[in-house]
Amino acid sequence: MKKRTLRHWALIVALLLSGGVSSQSYKVIEKSDKKAPLWYESAESGYIVASAEAASMEEARQMCLASIKRQILQSVAENIEFSDSHTVKQTTGNERITEFLDEYTAEGSTRAASVPFIKGISLSKVDGSYWEKRRDKKTDVITYCYAVRYPFPASEHRMLVMEFEKRDKEMEALVSGLEKSIDTVESVEEINQRINKLRPAMDYFFDKTRQQWVNGVADNYRKLPNAIIVKGEAIDNTNHRVALWLNGKKIKTGAMPKLTSNCASKLKVSPEGDDMLITFDNEDCLPDEVNAVDAVFRLHGKILKYTIHFEAPQADKGKKRTRLGY
């Protein structure tokens, strides 16, 4: 009896070692091929292998795609030579790699998705796939395991590293250029245009240091409307010239002010070079009243009001041209 028992256990051990008795917690009830391919759950030079298990086949496929993207991102990021600009010297290359990968894996992240080559990664490029439909032996829950073999040769890896470094430098140059040229804004509309130019860098920068940098540059542009003032001069009693000024220089705008008056009629404003010409008729105005035309500008949420005071026709005779601090 003792010998039979020993033989019995020896047989069980042999079967386990040979795979004759399954130690898996699930049973494969359907699969794409009779045998799993050699690359399944293994590493192979020039390829990326990804596998995932989910409640549906499509969910497992998408998880494989996400895994391929992560693996390619990591392999590329680990070989990037980041610039040593003074702006980002607080963040080392390794820190940026970590922050990039963390940002990519964050749910709902758009920054890593802005890297061009990520958009080109597709399951249509795989050169092998394998799937199994499994049933858990204890719970009878059905799951799908999906695996893919994605070609990723060394030549493509080198190309992606170069592409990544190029884009990284382009984004830094973009922000640096707009930061240095903030005093060259020539129109109110250009403020928003420059902020929009910064948006690709705002989406792209994945490390906190450069995120703070580009957001700070954008904020400086958003503050510009608060520094705009209006100056003007009277050409005569019913013709006035006004202009917007920013930090000591004239700034253009395509948005004409809204004109209102307590008595003047035929209110009109028209562009005249960097200035605006405001004209009106004062025939209906009385000399014993405070007569004025208000020009109201709406600039990115800021309201600027400029008031033109003028005399009624009866009191207009013999008056000289006046200047209003232009």
Return the bridge partners of 258, or none.
296
At residue 234, the pLDDT reads: 94
Q: State residue 16's pLDDT score.
A: 40
Q: How far is CA 55 from CA 65, 129, 134, in A?
A: 16, 18, 10
pLDDT on residue 78: 76
Q: How many CA atoms lie within 13 A of 73 on its CB side?
A: 27
Phi, psi of 52 (to 5 degrees): -155, 155
For residue 122, what are the contacts with CB-CB under 8 A and spacing of at least 6?
A: 65
pLDDT of residue 19: 42
% of the chain exceeding 90 in pLDDT: 57
What pLDDT is stored for residue 143 in this prediction? 97
Number of H helices, E strands in the chain: 7, 12
Instruction: Compute φ and ψ for 153, nearest 5 degrees.
Output: -70, 165
pLDDT tens column, 54-108: 999 999 999 999 889 888 888 887 777 666 554 555 555 566 667 666 766 554 4
pLDDT at 24: 82
The DSSP line for 60-123 is: HHHHHHHHHHHHHHHHHHTT------GGGTTS-HHHHHHHHHHHHHSTT--TGGGSHHHHT--G
Q: Are 79 and 141 in contact (CB under 8 A)?
A: no
Rounded distance between C-alpha atoms, residue 233 and residue 225, angstroms: 22
CA angle 256, 257, 262 (to 5 degrees): 140
Model pLDDT for residues 267-283, shown as the tens digit of each residue: 999 999 889 999 999 99
Q: How far apart are the first and last CA of the chain?
A: 116
Whole-number mean pLDDT of the chain?
A: 83
| Other Cβ atoms closer than 10 A to 17 | 9
Domains (range + CATH), the chain: 21-163 (no CATH), 227-315 (2.60.40)
Note whether 278 and 324 are within 8 A (CB).
Answer: no
Tens digits of residue pLDDT in 229-249: 999 999 999 999 999 999 999
**Residue holding tokens 């405001």?**
278
Tokens of 318: 């013999």
State the number of CA atoms in the 13 A half-sphere of 271 facing the CB.
8
DSSP symbol at 319? P
> Computed over its alpha carbons, how large is the radius of gyration of the chain?
36
Residue 147 corresponds to which tokens in the numbers above?
A: 């695996």
Q: Which residues of the chain have pLDDT under 50?
A: 1-22, 86, 107-108, 316-326
| Distances from the Cα of 317 to the Cα of 200, 289, 311, angstroms | 60, 17, 10
pLDDT of residue 241: 96
191, 181, 208, 183: which is closest to 87 by C-alpha? 208
How many CA atoms lie less than 13 Å away from 17 in the CB half-sphere? Answer: 6
Q: What are the beta bridge partners of residue 21?
A: none
pLDDT for 115 equals 66
